Structure 1
Amino acid sequence: MTEPVPVAPADGTGPTPEEVGWRRLPGRMLLVGPATALLRLAPALVVLVLFGAGSGNSTQVWIAGAAVVVAVAVGVVRWRTTRYRITDERVELHSGLLNRQRRSVPRDRIRTVDLTAPLLHRLVGLSVVKVGSGQSGSDAGLDLDAVTTDEAERLRRELLARPAPARGPAAVAGGTGADRARVEGNGADGNGAGGNGAGGDAAGGDGTVGPADPVDPAGEELDRIDWSSLRFAPLTVSSLAAIGALAGAGWNVLNETGLDPRSLPGADAVAGELSAAPVWATVLVAVALLLLVMVAGSIVLFVERWWDYRLSREPDGTLRVRRGLLTKRSLSVSEQRLRGVTVSEPLLVRALGGGAQAGALTVGLAGEDTDSGGGALGPPVRRAHAHAVAATAARATGPVTDGPLRAHPARARARRLVRAVGPALAPAVALGVFAWFDAAVWPVVVGVALVVVAVPLALDRYRALGHRLDERYLVARHGSLLRTTTALRRDGVIGWRVRQSLFQRRAGVLTLEATTAAGGGAVQVLDLDPADAVALMAAVTPDAVTPFRA
């Protein structure tokens, strides 16, 4: 079903875009597409069939049958109208019959290639290829759902191929790494202009991408799953949120099918025992059951998400994260797009388990989304191990995100105390007024507890503040509920933004943001002394700051 692809001429010029043949998705998609749609409609279809057959109303059964026929027809049309091709300059995808879509992504804009294989796809040997460009609009990226597993791996290597050597005079042999970085900075990302000239995330100096080199499939393994990390599973926010979503979906299914948990055998006896017990005992049992479900569910989700996790450095110059039990996922990021690394420490993971999670600060991939796995280099692990993974990914010989940081002025501590205690005083006063009229003690206790808890939280936020500038990295740390340490490469800084609120002006501090094309677009250094901010900018980008200092 795949149209022939022209062979490049002997002179190496390659086929023109018009000569490159269009390719279709494999015929196995006729099984996966309708099956996936029917699985999503399964609860509604089950309700229609059961109630229709039980009540003797065949209309509902016919509706369910029609839904199956429509799902199959949509799958056939989607397979028939979808085609793609890869030229030397672009990746193009055409799809749709009534609503036709034409997607085209320049190859020098490709930042990530994500291979995902849900269970149904794996059963028939297919994978979904998600091409990310880090852009919005027409160049935002595209999904090939789906191609064969072998074709997906070949596309991964081809689309993340190393750029062709620059042909300009700056690319002569013997040039320094900084020289090459400045030449590459003139690529599509534009980091070389207006910054310090080391964007380096685009293709070569002429903006072209060379063909994929033959590579050894075995890469250098940097990290693999350590099941002692299971203790962090109940402490992550994403696991708790996912459990809540699954519980809500299950409750909706029970409501749709008319099932009542109280009708289960033994439910009446349990309800009678709980009603006869003291209120505090009933609450304790309910809390214990809730904790048991949350812990068991979070462990199951952790295993499904991080099963067979491996972090490797591939011979084609990419960092690759592979993980997943039911849904296999492989995320590849070109190291040329890597601008730094992060280490995130959620409060519960840090306080109860001493853990952290390493992430990538990459052009086209949000590195802050570590808890959900978006920019994560691995699962939550021991804090020292997370810092080691970050340093290894950054090819650093020593600690990058770890080590001493420069403390911020005492005025920043006062700001955190005011910002934490102030919001806690409002509900405390309201509870005190309620206790006055109701003659109760517990509102006063709750109000005082809110204020007492706010003080150590504010002090912890101040202790987290800090920054460091070394030969290669700008390191900044902040946060308490989610403490984040970010190490941004100095040649990844493309500009500065200075923000100062009214209260910051009164305190004599400001927020300095190092803008970058990676992650969330900026690295914040909070509540910094103005003199330190100017010195920091001058050290990283002296040419950009000289006019302001004059």
Structure 2
Amino acid sequence: MSVPQHSTTTRHPDLETTVPWHRLSPKMLAVHPVQEIIRFLPVLLGVLVIGRGGHGPIWSLIGLGIAIIGGLLRWFTTTYQVTPTHIRVRRGLLRRRELSVPRDRVRSVDLTAHPLQRILGLSRVVIGTGRSDRHNEGVTLDALAAPAAARLREELLHRKVSLEQPTTDAKIMARLEPRWVRFGPFTLSGIATIGVVAGSLVNLFNETRVAPGEFGLLRSIINQLSSLPVPVAVVEITAFVVVLVAVLSALAYILAFWNFRLVRTNGTLHVTRGLLTSRSTTIEVRRLRGAEISEPLLLRAAGGARCMAITTGLRVGRGAEHGGTVLLPPAPLAEAQRVAGEVIGDAVPPVHELLRHGRKAHRRRYSRAFLVAAIVTGMFVLLWWLARWPAWPWQLSLALFPAGALLAEDRFRNLGHRLLDRRLVFRHGSLVRRRYMLSSDGVIGWVVHRSFFQRRAGLVSLTATTAAGRQHYTCAEVPAAEAIALAHDAVPGLLDPFLVRRE
């Protein structure tokens, strides 16, 4: 990396030569004030447009100015250093803090850029270190010049690989096809957008002290709905919400996955995506432990699925649109199966038929569904009998029994497992059906769970623990003897100290 003229130098015991300290790109001085203004936009509208008398507007503007100055101080107080052994970041003015991470702990380097950063040629660098990512920590450099960020990623992830493996041509494993946008409405991601917009509007109305009914459009809509019978108004509102969610979900799909590409090159997987905010994620194949095919209920009804990586060092649990493990956006199921097979190097696990879990597991799915329906219905019956509640709640709750039966049957049909050539395949779920394909080499332990009712039925829940992905993958409602045999065959000897053999 080139050394900026404004960098300073320091010496550390682990270095034989002086390594320079770098600052973030000076262009970020134009980014952070704009970010703070956007964050305080509802307050500004209230203060500058519809604000009322008093000292409130003055203090609001002073607070905004302090926030902007705080953003500018980030550049003056942040420096970073990349040595052969460590990555160090210093930040803070009154409270000086230095974060040091060994380079052998680096698991991923993500590059993101929102529209303003893309215009200025900047990238935000997030260096993942595995465990710390789960606590929203890690090393973040916001922001560097895009070429410098790309060089830093190559330096941190590919130096060792390039010395050990010959360079090969990149292979495009998947790219977004425009016809896949039809799966966007079935992801329901527009619900989150509606929530954000509604929250912003409520905040705006509170700051400006303006009632929603004062706006002509909203007043006419409210009056029109008030003049309709309640059932008709409910139908209109429901239809409007459904259409709005579908449109916003499709728009969110385009924004998140436009120009999506999955490329394999020289021992790594590169994922790039995003229309306004671009994101680039690199996954080292040697850290890959498997793949996951996820099929939410609506997406499954449309014949679609997602594909995610099971790997160490990437954040999980933040949603498929925002997480760094996405290998394929919502797409046809066959495409998700193909990508999963190519990623793990075996086309069989994504499509192979799995072993069913038997009649006892089938019976337990039904008993649990009917138990929930009986408890809810019983509570409404007691309230109707003792507290003189209306009868329609318990009458309506009777629908839980057939709905529970359908759910139980679907949950049982989706249960399955298999061991295919050192690869564990688990499947479960109904509202979200998931198929995990986990390498046996990545399993570091087993957890055998048995509830009171499972013991009576002779069933267990077998969980494989690993350092990758969700860190635990469960095969539910398995016959006890079958679960023990599966664990022994997958990782021979791991369970032996805990087994009691019968004479």
TM-aligned CA deviation for residue 133 of structure 1: 1.0
The 1:338–1:267 alpha-carbon spacing in structure 2 relative to 1, beyond 3 Å, is closer
Partner of 1:453: 403
Does residue 104 in structure 1 map to residue 100 in structure 2? Answer: yes
TM-aligned CA deviation for residue 237 of structure 1: 4.8
TM-aligned CA deviation for residue 363 of structure 1: 0.6
Does residue 307 in structure 1 map to residue 258 in structure 2? Answer: yes
TM-aligned CA deviation for residue 276 of structure 1: 3.1
Give, in whole Å, the separation in 2 of the partners of 1:535 and 1:131.
40
Q: Is the 8 A contact 1:367 1:376 kept in 2?
A: no
What SS does the corresponding residue of 1:380 show, helix, strand or coil?
Answer: strand
Partner of 2:195: 244
TM-aligned CA deviation for residue 338 of structure 1: 0.5
Q: Is the 8 A contact 1:360 1:367 kept in 2?
A: no
The 1:5–1:476 alpha-carbon spacing in structure 2 relative to 1, beyond 3 Å, is farther
Give, in whole Å, the separation in 1 of the partners of 2:233 and 2:112.
45
TM-aligned CA deviation for residue 80 of structure 1: 1.3
Q: Is the 8 A contact 1:412 1:462 kept in 2?
A: yes
Structure 2 counterparts to residues 254-269 of structure 1, below 5 A: 254-265=205-216, 269=220
Q: Is the 8 A contact 1:17 1:88 kept in 2?
A: no
Partner of 1:371: 320
What SS does the corresponding residue of 2:276 show, helix, strand or coil?
Answer: coil
The 1:234–1:244 alpha-carbon spacing in structure 2 relative to 1, beyond 3 Å, is farther
Q: Is the 8 A contact 1:3 1:21 kept in 2?
A: no
Does residue 327 in structure 1 map to residue 277 in structure 2? Answer: yes
Does residue 428 in structure 1 map to residue 377 in structure 2? Answer: yes
TM-aligned CA deviation for residue 51 of structure 1: 4.3
TM-aligned CA deviation for residue 89 of structure 1: 1.3
Give, in whole Å, the separation in 2 of the partners of 1:268 and 1:37.
33
Does residue 226 in structure 1 map to residue 187 in structure 2? Answer: no
Q: Deviations over 1:199-218 (max 9, x none)?
A: xxxxxxxxxxx8799968x7
Partner of 2:226: 275
Give, in whole Å, the separation in 2 of the partners of 1:227 and 1:126.
28
What SS does the corresponding residue of 1:21 show, helix, strand or coil?
Answer: strand
The 1:406–1:517 alpha-carbon spacing in structure 2 relative to 1, beyond 3 Å, is same
- The structure richer in strand per residue is 2
Amino acid in structure 1 at the alignment position of 2:372: P
Q: Tell me, which stretches of 5 or more residues in structure 1 are unaligned?
A: 7-14, 165-209
Does residue 76 in structure 1 map to residue 26 in structure 2? Answer: no
TM-aligned CA deviation for residue 278 of structure 1: 2.0
Amino acid in structure 2 at the alignment position of 1:89: T
TM-aligned CA deviation for residue 16 of structure 1: 2.3
What SS does the corresponding residue of 1:79 show, helix, strand or coil?
Answer: helix
TM-aligned CA deviation for residue 469 of structure 1: 0.5
Give, in whole Å, the separation in 2 of the partners of 1:226 and 1:544.
45
TM-aligned CA deviation for residue 470 of structure 1: 1.3
TM-aligned CA deviation for residue 49 of structure 1: 2.4
What SS does the corresponding residue of 2:49 show, helix, strand or coil?
Answer: helix
TM-aligned CA deviation for residue 332 of structure 1: 1.0
Identity of aligned residues (%): 37
The 1:110–1:530 alpha-carbon spacing in structure 2 relative to 1, beyond 3 Å, is same
TM-aligned CA deviation for residue 62 of structure 1: 3.6
Does residue 346 in structure 1 map to residue 346 in structure 2? Answer: no
Q: TM-score, normalised by structure 2?
A: 0.90
The 1:69–1:214 alpha-carbon spacing in structure 2 relative to 1, beyond 3 Å, is farther
Give, in whole Å, the separation in 2 of the partners of 1:60 and 1:368.
40
Which range is displaced more, 460-469 or 362-371? 362-371
Partner of 1:177: none
Partner of 1:382: 332
TM-aligned CA deviation for residue 521 of structure 1: 1.0
1:501 corresponds, among 451, 470, 489, to 451
The 1:148–1:458 alpha-carbon spacing in structure 2 relative to 1, beyond 3 Å, is same
Q: Is the 8 A contact 2:24 2:78 kept in 1?
A: yes
Q: Is the 8 A contact 2:297 2:433 kept in 1?
A: yes
The 1:72–1:277 alpha-carbon spacing in structure 2 relative to 1, beyond 3 Å, is closer
Q: Is the 8 A contact 1:361 1:518 kept in 2?
A: yes
Q: Is the 8 A contact 2:260 2:271 kept in 1?
A: yes
TM-aligned CA deviation for residue 438 of structure 1: 6.4
What SS does the corresponding residue of 1:312 show, helix, strand or coil?
Answer: strand
Q: TM-score, normalised by structure 1?
A: 0.82
What SS does the corresponding residue of 2:433 show, helix, strand or coil?
Answer: strand
The 1:508–1:273 alpha-carbon spacing in structure 2 relative to 1, beyond 3 Å, is same
Q: Is the 8 A contact 1:105 1:140 kept in 2?
A: no
The 1:461–1:69 alpha-carbon spacing in structure 2 relative to 1, beyond 3 Å, is same
Give, in whole Å, the separation in 1 of the partners of 2:181 and 2:390.
43
What SS does the corresponding residue of 2:494 show, helix, strand or coil?
Answer: helix
Partner of 2:31: 32
Does residue 292 in structure 1 map to residue 243 in structure 2? Answer: yes
Does residue 337 in structure 1 map to residue 287 in structure 2? Answer: yes
Aligned residues: 490
Partner of 1:483: 433
Which range is displaced more, 437-446 or 417-426? 437-446
What SS does the corresponding residue of 1:286 show, helix, strand or coil?
Answer: helix
Partner of 2:85: 89
TM-aligned CA deviation for residue 461 of structure 1: 0.7
Partner of 1:235: 186
Pairwise CA RMSD of aligned residues? 2.8
Q: Is the 8 A contact 2:46 2:204 kept in 1?
A: no
